[in-house]
Every structure is written in structure tokens, then in C-alpha cells.
């Protein structure tokens, strides 16, 4: 089943860049989450995308959102990638594809290329935005716009 806007994200566990267990219950349903799937550490577009999230990370934090990156790379690769580019957010290893399968996707572009998809998940654990685009640059812009909308909606309540 492919998750879509309006669906609630199921519980998942993964290993972070420090080799520690990440439990989604500690984040999803507690704060706004920007969860982005990317193909591979230290490739040109993925590095640019991660650095763009890094450069705007404080804006996400100021709006009460947490950024989390996910790829099939192992935690050791993520640690090197995060340290080299000074990434302040969590990177999760999804070597077995379990997290991707929860979201219901495997590959994009006719099954040939790994997916690059960003989800914004509200404080109730519901997906409010999905952006699927192979180019990394627009993911940050779209996610930040959506987080701002959610923050404004939260203030009005």
C-alpha cells in the first residue's frame, strides 16, 4: 500500500548514523517531521540536498519541525557523510528497505532509479505533503512552505 496525503504513518524502527536505534514513536505524532528519502550518501545531488537542509535547518527547528534523512546506506556511511558535511539532523539507515516499504515505494522513473521523496508529517502523525522529484533543490523549498502552513494552522487553533 502506498501512503498518500491524509494517511497516518505507521510505527517503524531504524538505525541512525551513530548506530543507535531510532524509534519513530519518539518523533512522529509529537512534532512536525520532514522525512526525506534520498538515493545515496556523497553523491552530487544527494550532498547538495542534504547541505540545503543543513543550511535551512534552523528555520525548520524554529517552526517546531525535525528533519530526518533516510537512505539505504549503512550507519557508518551516514556518520562519515554527516560529519563531513556538518549535518545537524538524523540520518537513518534503511538497508533492508523496511522503512521504504512502510511508505509503499521502491524506485522511481520506471523502476530504474532510486526514489527521492520528501514527506511532511504533522503533529498528529498524518502526512500533509509528498514531494517526489529527482532534483534535490525543490524538496527543501516545498517542505519549508508546508511546515510554515502547519505552524500557522497550529497558531490559529
Q: Which residues are catalytic?
A: 46
- Beta-bridge partners for 113: 108
- State how beta strands 113-114 and 65-71 pair: unpaired
Cα 112 from Cα 90, distance rounded (Å): 27
From the CB of residue 86, how many other CB atoms can be counted at a distance below 10 Å? 8
- State how beta strands 113-114 and 107-108 pair: antiparallel
Cα 143 from Cα 13, distance rounded (Å): 23
Amino acid at each position: 500500500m502506498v501512503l498518500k496525503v491524509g494517511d497516518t504513518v505507521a510505527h517503524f524502527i531504524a538505525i541512525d548514523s551513530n548506530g543507535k536505534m531510532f524509534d519513530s514513536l519518539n518523533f512522529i505524532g509529537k512534532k512536525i517531521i520532514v522525512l526525506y528519502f534520498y538515493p545515496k550518501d556523497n553523491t552530487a545531488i544527494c550532498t547538495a540536498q542534504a547541505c540545503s537542509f543543513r543550511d535551512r535547518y534552523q528555520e525548520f527547528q524554529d517552526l517546531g519541525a525535525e528533519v530526518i534523512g533516510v537512505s539505504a546506506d549503512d550507519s557508518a556511511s551516514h556518520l562519515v557523510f554527516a560529519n563531513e558535511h556538518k549535518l545537524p539532523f538524523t540520518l537513518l539507515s534503511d538497508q533492508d528497505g523496511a522503512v521504504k516499504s512502510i511508505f509503499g515505494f521502491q524506485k522511481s522513473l520506471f523502476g530504474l532509479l532510486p526514489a527521492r521523496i520528501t514527506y511532511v508529517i504533522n503533529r498528529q502523525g498524518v502526512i500533509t505533503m509528498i514531494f517526489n522529484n529527482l532534483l534535490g533543490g525543490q524538496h527543501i523549498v516545498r517542505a519549508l512552505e508546508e511546515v510554515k502552513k502547519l505552524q500557522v494552522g497550529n497558531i490559529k487553533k
